[in-house]
């Protein structure tokens, strides 16, 4: 009896030992993927991450730095630079109230005071006075900006933005082209001759020379003349501080990367009403002059309508850390 009990105990110990040593067969261990990024939005993430962005839009080419303030707010600061896009405008020269050239009913050119003045200026100065003056305008917008982006929804695709642009008050710069310098010199010298001429001098019958630029709101032609340096200059000015509000939609640029993002933004800059287009003589074309002819008049109509500047942009962002 004792012997049977002992044998049973030994066999039980062997079984237990075998169970303890048994290791079931396992398949190949799968390699864990390293996360491509981390969660940008999380509690306590204030100033924990930094994004750098480049953008292209109606305010120019921009660069931004952005960092989260909390789980749904982001602070953005940057700089926008508008490349100097240029546009040339042609303005006719007016002598004695008549533009040059003039034609009869059959389409033949007729002699006008301009022709007689041009001949006289060629004789006295050697300059060839043209029938028009060319002006070239360019955009000069440059702004530092600071923004707060709000992401109210869980997926963080839509955002709303409020902020401030600060930059130069001059946003448009207009001046005469070099090809018109001789004509402006002739206009300046002729008007000096006209002011000092004897009442019996023939030029007193011609009248003064000016550049066709529309009419005063109160009536009468606006006679734009060159300054003391025989130049034409204008500046389009706005407020230096421009509040901004807008919204946008963004997301991953690459499906498996959360550190590359793309965003489309739309908003408005409140730059203090229509820009003032100030001529060197102090005349404000925006408020004081109407019926400006030609392409220049069409652009002035746009300037007068732009009481708020539209902002549209595409922004590409990279999370640095």
Q: What is the pLDDT of residues 48-87, one digit of tens each?
A: 889 999 999 999 999 999 999 998 999 999 999 999 889 9
**Cα–Cα distance list, 168 to 127, 136, 171, 233, 307 (Å):** 38, 20, 7, 17, 17
* Separation CA 267–CA 262 (nearest Å): 17
% of the chain exceeding 70 in pLDDT: 88
Omega within 30 of 0 (cis) for the link into 275: no
* Separation CA 243–CA 225 (nearest Å): 37
* Separation CA 320–CA 312 (nearest Å): 25
Instruction: Give the residue from 267, 272, 274, 278 showing the smallest Cα distance to 305.
Output: 274
* Separation CA 117–CA 129 (nearest Å): 9
DSSP assignment, residue 178? G
Q: Indicate the pTM of the whole model.
A: 0.76
What is the rounded average pLDDT of the residues 242-267? 92
Instruction: Give the residue from 28, 21, 73 showing the smallest Cα distance to 49.
Output: 73
**Cα–Cα distance list, 75 to 162, 171, 264, 300 (Å):** 10, 26, 17, 37
* Separation CA 271–CA 244 (nearest Å): 9
- Check pLDDT > 80 for residue 297: yes
- Check pLDDT > 60 for residue 19: no
What is the rounded average pLDDT of the residues 140-166? 94
């Amino acid at each position: 009896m004792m012997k049977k009990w002992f044998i049973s105990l030994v066999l039980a110990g062997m079984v237990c030992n075998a169970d303890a040593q048994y290791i079931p067969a396992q398949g190949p261990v799968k390699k864990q993927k390293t996360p491509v990024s981390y969660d940008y939005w999380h509690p306590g993430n204030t100033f924990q991450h930094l994004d750098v962005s480049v953008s292209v839009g109606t305010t120019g080419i921009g660069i931004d730095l952005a960092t989260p303030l909390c789980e749904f707010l982001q602070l953005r600061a940057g700089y926008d630079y508008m490349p100097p896009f240029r546009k040339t405008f042609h303005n006719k020269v007016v002598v004695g109230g008549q533009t040059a050239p003039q034609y009869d009913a059959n389409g033949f050119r007729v002699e006008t005071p301009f022709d007689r003045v041009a001949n006289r200026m060629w004789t006295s100065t050697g300059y060839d006075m043209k029938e028009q003056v060319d002006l070239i305008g360019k955009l000069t917008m440059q702004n530092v900006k600071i923004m707060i982006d709000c992401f109210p929804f869980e997926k963080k695709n839509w955002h709303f933005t409020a902020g401030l642009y600060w930059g130069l008050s001059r946003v448009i710069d207009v001046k005469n082209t070099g090809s018109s310098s001789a004509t402006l010199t002739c206009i300046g010298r002729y008007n000096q001759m006209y002011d000092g001429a004897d009442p019996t001098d023939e030029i007193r019958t011609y009248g003064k020379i000016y550049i066709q630029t529309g009419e005063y709101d109160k009536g009468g032609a606006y006679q734009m003349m060159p300054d003391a340096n025989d130049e034409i200059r204008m500046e389009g000015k706005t407020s230096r501080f421009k509040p901004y509000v807008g919204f946008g939609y963004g997301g991953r640029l690459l499906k498996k990367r959360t550190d590359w993002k793309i965003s489309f933004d739309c908003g408005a800059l409140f730059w203090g009403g229509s820009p003032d287009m100030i001529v060197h003589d102090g005349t404000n074309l925006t408020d004081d002059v109407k019926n400006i002819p030609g392409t220049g008049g069409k652009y002035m109509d746009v300037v007068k309508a732009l009481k708020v500047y539209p902002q549209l942009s595409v922004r590409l962002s990279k999370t640095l850390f």
